[in-house]
Amino acid sequence: MPGHTYLDHAATTPMRPEAVAAMLPYLSEQFANPSGSHRFAREARKVVDDAREVIANVLGCAPGEVVFTGSGTEADNTAVRGTLARRPGTVAVCPAAEHHAVLECVHLTHGVVVATTTTGAVDLAALVPALDEAGETVGVVSVMTVNNEVGTVNDIAAVAATVRARAPHAVLHTDAVQAASWLDLRAITPHVDLLALSAHKFGGPKGVGVLVVRDGVRFEPLLVGGGQERERRSGTHNVAGIVAMAEALRLTDIERAGQLPRIGALRDALVDGIVAALPDVRETVPRAAKVAGSAHLCIEGIENEALLFLLDEAAVCASAASACAAGAMEPSHVLAAMGVPRSLAGGALRLTLGFTSTEADVARGIDVVVQSVRRLRRAS
């Protein structure tokens, strides 16, 4: 929307024009159901498999290991609950700062939630005894690659080493939904058994995601009936969405090395500008622990609900926490896990940048945040 400053790329990204262009033919004349047996259907099937190859290449896995889903949430749900269903009597283990799509599944199945560090990263010192205590009953361990609220990066290689040593039979899943724009996924995939992606977090369309299932890893499908995706996910393929996702991921991967310093500099300018103009603003997580596009601040003396209202009035899009329906205005479980006091968490502000972000966005963001916070502080 013209005139708006969009600082909420962790909630969703605008679509890349190339991804829109890639999907349009499959939204219009090439609409066949890939599961048919006529020529038109076979062409659609080839398109889906070409997309699978592109995605596998970016992820560093085999094309047969890419399973298309309807969302990142579905991929996460399948990973946790599908694995447990395959392994009756086992439990899931995850850190307390996971996305709700993992956390709720772990709660639902009476799993084990372990502590995080003050940056929101998984605390290996807490994970080890949890795995030791649960022993053979650990069915799946789920650790997100990048936290959606505060941007903290987990060291998946170190997590994997721990899990393989302490729970060698467990399946390791990572929710990499927030990672694709910032990290080379080829360095993540080899360490895990399952990995979830969501297209709309990297310039692709909403309504399509990926669950990477490494060769030999078994789970019970969440959706049955039709047997698509080699019985791993039933439902007619969203051909246009899959094509667009592959194109968005391909471009994200190509451009990543160039975008990281650019977006990192914008993020630094944004945070520095706000912190320099306002007293009593704290960076929630040190930048070295975070991805380049993420800024997260705890602003004393304000309520973020009021702040977001003022930001929205001034046409600046930001958020307090994640963009989920229930969570948007509730206290953040991530900040609670990090030990951030509730009084401070009430002033949490998430500003997230992405491939469309500009210097003008940063300047406007600083200006509006600073003015709005001053206004709220004067009023209180």
Partner 1 sequence: MDTIYLDNNASTAPDPLVIAAVSEAMASLPGNASSHHAFGFQAADAVERARGSVAGLVGARVRDVVFTSGATEANNLALIGLWEASRIDSPSRVRVLVGATEHPAVLEVADYLATRGALVHRVRVDSLGRLDLNDLKAHLTDDVLVVSVMAANNETGTLAPLPEVSDLAHSVGALVHSDCTQAMGRVSVDMTRDGLDFMSLSAHKMHGPKGVGALVVRRGVVVFPQLRGGGHERGLRSGTINTPGVVGLGVAAELAASRLGEAIAIRAMTDKFIAKLENTVPEVELNGHPDDRLPNTANLRFVGADAEAVMMGMPQVACSTGSACSAAVPTPSPVLLAMGKSQQHAAESLRFSLSRTTTHEELMTAADLVRDSVAYVRSQLGHEVA
Q: Is 227 in the site for partner 1 (CB under 8 A)?
A: yes
Q: Is 361 in the site for partner 1 (CB under 8 A)?
A: no
By CB under 8 A, which span of 128-136, 233-241, 293-301, 368-376 interacts with partner 1?
233-241
Please name the residue that has the structure tokens 């009593």.
280
Q: Any residues with CB less than 8 A from the CB of 319 and at least 6 apart, and which?
A: 8, 10, 11, 308, 328, 350, 352
Query: Of 70 and 120, which has the nearer Cβ to partner 1?
Result: 70
Query: Of 119 and 319, which has the nearer Cβ to partner 1?
Result: 319
Q: How many residues does the chain have?
A: 380
Q: Is 117 in the site for partner 1 (CB under 8 A)?
A: no
Strands 112-114 and 138-142: unpaired
User: At its nearest, how many Å lie between partner 1 and the CB of residue 143?
Assistant: 15
Q: Is 110 in the site for partner 1 (CB under 8 A)?
A: no
Choose which of 64, 129, 135, 226 interacts with partner 1 (CB under 8 A).
Answer: 226
The footprint of partner 1 on residues 324-343 (CB under 8 A) is 324-329
Burial label for 151, CB within 10 Å (0-12, 13-18, 19+), is buried
SS3 283: strand
Q: What is the CB neighbour count within 10 angstroms for residue 218?
A: 12
The footprint of partner 1 on residues 6-45 (CB under 8 A) is 6, 8, 11-15, 20, 24, 27-29, 31-33, 35-41
Choose which of 86, 206, 282, 287 interacts with partner 1 (CB under 8 A).
Answer: 206
Tokens at 245, concatenated: 């996702």
Q: Any residues with CB less than 8 A from the CB of 251 and at least 6 apart, and which?
A: 16, 18, 19, 203
Question: What region does 89 belong to: left with phi over 0, alpha with psi -120 to 50, or beta?
Answer: left
Q: Is 129 in the site for partner 1 (CB under 8 A)?
A: no
Q: Is 113 in the site for partner 1 (CB under 8 A)?
A: no
Question: Cα angle at 263 between 265 and 367, to 5 degrees?
Answer: 70
Q: Which of 61, 298, 317, 324 is catalytic?
A: 324
The footprint of partner 1 on residues 255-294 (CB under 8 A) is none
Is residue 298 annotated as a catalytic residue, yes or no? Answer: no
Rounded to the nearest 10°, the torsion over CA 358, 360, 362, 367 is: -170
Query: Of 200 and 267, which has the nearer Cβ to partner 1?
Result: 200
Choose which of 239, 291, 302, 334 interacts with partner 1 (CB under 8 A).
Answer: 239
The footprint of partner 1 on residues 305-324 (CB under 8 A) is 308, 311-312, 315-320, 322-324
Q: What is the CB neighbour count within 10 angstroms for residue 233?
A: 24
Q: Is 99 in the site for partner 1 (CB under 8 A)?
A: yes
Distance, in Å, from the CA atom of 363 to the CA atom of 193, rounded to the nearest integer, reads: 42
By CB under 8 A, which span of 86-94, 96-104, 254-262, 293-301 interacts with partner 1?
96-104
> Which whole-number Å values give the CA distances from 299 to 33, 86, 124, 218, 266, in the listed order?
51, 45, 29, 45, 20
Q: Is 231 in the site for partner 1 (CB under 8 A)?
A: yes
Q: What is the CB neighbour count within 10 angstroms for residue 369?
A: 28
User: At its nearest, how many Å lie between partner 1 and the CB of residue 141?
Assistant: 17
Distance, in Å, from the CA atom of 247 to the CA atom of 242, rounded to the nearest integer, reads: 9
Query: Of 120 and 209, which has the nearer Cβ to partner 1?
Result: 209
User: At its nearest, how many Å lie between partner 1 and the CB of residue 176?
Assistant: 15
Q: Is 238 in the site for partner 1 (CB under 8 A)?
A: yes
User: At its nearest, how many Å lie between partner 1 and the CB of residue 198?
Assistant: 7
User: At its nearest, how many Å lie between partner 1 and the CB of residue 105?
Assistant: 6
Tokens at 98, concatenated: 């996971």
Q: Is 125 in the site for partner 1 (CB under 8 A)?
A: no
Q: Is 181 in the site for partner 1 (CB under 8 A)?
A: no
Choose which of 60, 63, 190, 207 interacts with partner 1 (CB under 8 A).
Answer: 207
The catalytic residue positions are 324
